[in-house]
Amino acid sequence: MAKRTCCSDTSTAVSPPPISPESQTDRFNNDFLLDSFLHVSDFDSINTSFDTLIESRSSDSDKHDLIQRALHIGSILLEAGKRSDRKRSLFHNAVVWPLPPDLTIKVFALLDTQSVCYAAATCSFFQKCAADPSCFASIDLITSVPKVNNGVVSSLIRRAGNALQSIKLGVLPPSTSPLFCSSEPLVYSIRNSTDASGVSWNDKRSRQGKESSILTRSCLSYLSENGGAPGARLRRLHLFNIERMDNAALSASLSACPSLLDLEIVGLHVELRQTLESVSKHCPLIERLAFESSKTGRDDGLKHPTCYEFVHSCPNITTLALKGFKLHDYKARMLVKGLRKLKIVDFSTSYSFTGAFLKNLGANGGGKHLEVMILRDCMHLKEIEVEHFMGAVLAGEFECLRHLDISNREGLASDGDWFRRCYSASFIPIKQLLEERPNFCLVAEFPKGSYIDVEQPTPGDLNSDVSLASQFSSHASDGSFLMSASDSGSDSGNEDGQETSFLTYDESSDEIDFLST
């Protein structure tokens, strides 16, 4: 059998055919003609010469062929000019741009996803820099109306590769409330959405295509590709109002994220019990969990074993936000007490619990490290339980607590009669709280129109610390109450040593700010 010729054998390698002298001559002539043509300065003469050349042809077919040939040559010159301009721009940007490629990549890595895509579209130099995986380590595809589909998500996850650290995905209303200030829901339905242009999503679907901008339950399926490599290093996952994602799809996504530290879920059609079970099983390192129900007050599936498993499997939780769920006192207590590193808890708009879980919360384990507690718009929260809790705060418990929100649009429930609501924070000894906990911030906003008449303060009263504290408790019944105090000092006549406090309350439709120094 004959030996197969090696491809690297130079003796048998096929070399390109030599260029004939005639081809070299034609190329030289073309270069000469093109150079002469491009150096013509009198453009009007070109028009005249072309018209004369057309008229010199005897038949219409010859004239037509000549015109078509001119158009073809013109298009070739146009494309050649554009191509050369792009090459020149690439070289120009690489030279003029003050940063080398490695620093440019670091700058791009600090930008949001949309800005990186815009920069990559400007020139080839930026496109090459933006192709680095670190530029897409933090994928942020949050939009006010549906604009993103599964293909976009998969493409960006593929670009990020092993560098993927964060994913924010879904639809979020444009006017969201700041953290720790409101219980305004972030749940959002694309079927009822209207953007700033006033055009509803239902009207847009016919133009955009029914499925072109909708995320489905498999939008994060690429995290599990290649043995789960894309999701192995993911630290943050925020999902907003992806209506088609269900329990099974979310669990499959979490199973590919063993290093997850921060999980936020808003408006997904998933249950609290199954979500906590998935987190307990797949995300033992998690430190922050924020979950807002898509069906406020109707999710009552959380069970005792699930709470037990969650607090033992995820001991590093420092922030827990469960909003809009039916959460009984014993479940809330198990979560707060069991998570011994818990610093921030938000049970806003939760149902069922009365606040009984607050009793002895700071003793024997979890609860004593709490810094922020938000119980805003909790329908069944009782006034008496809040009063007992504030008594514990004044007694020296919860030394780390610096922010408490007990605001309620429906008022606090009375102890004897649930239908009798309390719209006043007068039961809280404000002056004592200011003296003993100067850095404490208490937020107690109640609806307007549910207040008792109070005497208007005189200018002289504003200079009195005692009078100011009493006004706090009186005006708390006006509708809203916000109290915070900074570091205080002794009253020695020096302005720097005097106690500084800031208060805001609503009276009718006017907002009055008192600054007492």
Note the pLDDT tens digit of each residue in 67-121.
Answer: 898 899 889 888 988 888 877 766 666 677 888 889 999 999 999 999 999 988 8
Q: Which helix (H) or strand (E) holds 46?
A: helix 43-55
- 146 pLDDT more than 80: yes
pLDDT tens by residue, 267-293: 898 999 999 999 999 999 999 999 998
DSSP character string of 239-260: EE--TT--HHHHHHHHHT-TT-
pLDDT of 342: 94
Lowest mean pLDDT among 293-302, 328-337, 439-448, 459-468: 459-468
CA distances, 56 to each of 44, 62, 426, 445 (Å):
19, 10, 103, 91
In three-state secondary structure terms, 502 is: strand
Joined together, the tokens standing for residue 359 give 């009793």
pLDDT of 38: 77
C-beta separation of 342 from 367 below 8 A: yes
- 300 pLDDT more than 70: yes
Q: First vs last Cα of the chain: how many Å apart?
A: 103
- 448 pLDDT more than 70: no
pLDDT tens by residue, 173-200: 765 454 444 445 555 544 444 443 344 4
Report phi then psi at 511, rounded to 5: -105, 125
pLDDT tens by residue, 336-358: 999 999 999 999 998 889 999 99
User: How many CB atoms are closer than 10 A to CB 164?
Assistant: 26
Does the pTM surpass 0.85? The reply is: no
Q: Which has the higher per-residue pLDDT, 23 or 116?
A: 116
pLDDT of 285: 96
Angle among Cα 186, 188, 190 to the nearest 5 degrees reads 160
- 423 pLDDT more than 60: yes
- 231 pLDDT more than 80: yes
pLDDT of 24: 60
- 252 pLDDT more than 90: yes
**What mean pLDDT comes out for the span 120-126?**
84
- 364 pLDDT more than 60: yes
Look at strands 482-485 and 501-507 and give their pairing. Answer: antiparallel
Lowest mean pLDDT among 112-121, 199-208, 322-331: 199-208
Specify the length of the chain in residues. 517
In three-state secondary structure terms, 347 is: coil
CB-based contacts of 326, cutoff 8 Å, min separation 6:
297, 298, 299, 300, 302, 350, 351, 352
Report phi then psi at 91, rounded to 5: -65, -40
3-state secondary structure 257-292: CCCCCEEEEECCCCCHHHHHHHHHHHCCCCCEEEEE
Q: Ramachandran region of residue 365, left (φ > 0), alpha (ψ -120 to 50) or beta?
A: left
Joined together, the tokens standing for residue 190 give 């694309």
Query: What is the Cβ-side half-sphere exposure of residue 268, based on CA atoms within 13 angstroms?
Result: 27
C-beta separation of 501 from 439 below 8 A: no
